[in-house]
């Protein structure tokens, strides 16, 4: 749901919402509309968490989780993914290839209710959801993978159930990113969900 939480599950990606800490405490939800997903390693750079005046490192189990949180690929450390995401955005949503600023604004409007930190969800027909989309099932998030929904927990992916093909889902992943996924962006989903 985009909340910043600490638990020991290993992350495949790091993320950035700006400087959201003071000392070793998270003090705000985000610093701007720039929410990106970054590579764990890039050009040998090594940075420590909790450094004053440096962005707060966030970690994501897989790219689908980062997209559900409302992030997009970084243009510097994930240039190919960023370029592919932008192209899929144009194809999936129509129009020209967007700028980073245009994507950030739209994603920000889709992920939280303006003036709050309350998460927005979006009603979407089950049949229209591509792999990698996160939905709410009861009180739990789950990822769509083919004909299944795989529940997300603090221990990773767990219970599986059949994906409904009728009715409407309560979708967590922002609609623009759902359009990107529908257009064929190759989202990374942990192997445990695909098994």
Per-residue pLDDT of the chain (195 residues; tens, 9 = 90+): 777 787 888 788 988 877 767 787 876 677 788 889 999 887 776 677 767 777 777 888 999 999 999 999 999 999 999 999 999 999 999 999 999 999 999 999 999 888 777 889 999 999 999 999 999 988 899 999 999 999 999 999 999 999 998 999 999 999 999 999 999 999 999 999 987
Query: Is residue 3 a part of any domain in this protein?
Result: no
The pTM assigned to this predicted structure is 0.91
Pair type for strands 21-22 and 25-26: antiparallel
Phi/psi class of residue 132: alpha, beta or left (left: φ > 0; alpha: ψ in -120 to 50)? left
Query: Is residue 5 a part of any domain in this protein?
Result: no
Backbone angles phi, psi at 79, to 5 degrees: -55, -45
Measured distance between the N- and C-terminal CA atoms of the chain, rounded to whole angstroms: 24
Query: Is residue 34 a part of any domain in this protein?
Result: yes
Query: Is residue 4 a part of any domain in this protein?
Result: no
Query: Is residue 172 a part of any domain in this protein?
Result: yes
Query: Is residue 122 a part of any domain in this protein?
Result: yes
Cβ–Cβ contacts within 10 Å for residue 94, how many?
8
Query: Is residue 8 a part of any domain in this protein?
Result: no
Q: What is the largest CA-CA distance in the chain?
A: 50
160 CB burial (10 A radius; 0-12, 13-18, 19+): middle
Domain that holds residue 19: 13-194
Of 122, 158, 137, 2, nearest to 68 (Cα)? 2
Query: Is residue 162 a part of any domain in this protein?
Result: yes
**Number of structural domains found in the chain:** 1
Give strand pairing partners of 21. Answer: 26
């Amino acid at each position: 749901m985009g909340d910043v939480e600490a638990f020991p599950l290993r992350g495949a990606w790091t993320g950035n919402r700006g400087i959201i800490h003071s000392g070793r405490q998270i003090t705000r939800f985000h610093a701007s509309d720039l929410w990106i997903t970054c590579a764990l390693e890039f050009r040998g750079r090594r940075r420590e968490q909790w450094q004053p005046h440096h962005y707060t490192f966030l970690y994501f189990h897989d790219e689908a989780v980062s997209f559900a949180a409302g992030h997009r690929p970084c243009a510097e450390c994930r240039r190919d993914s960023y370029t592919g995401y932008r192209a899929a955005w144009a194809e999936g949503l129509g129009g020209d290839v967007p700028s980073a600023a245009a994507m950030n604004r739209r994603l920000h409007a889709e992920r939280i209710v303006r003036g709050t930190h309350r998460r927005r969800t979006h009603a979407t027909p089950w049949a229209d959801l591509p792999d990698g989309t996160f939905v709410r099932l009861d009180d739990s998030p789950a990822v769509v993978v083919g004909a299944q929904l795989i529940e997300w927990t603090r221990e990773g992916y767990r219970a599986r159930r059949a994906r409904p093909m009728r009715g409407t889902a309560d979708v967590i992943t922002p609609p623009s990113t759902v359009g990107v996924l529908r257009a064929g962006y190759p989202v990374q989903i942990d192997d445990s969900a695909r098994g």
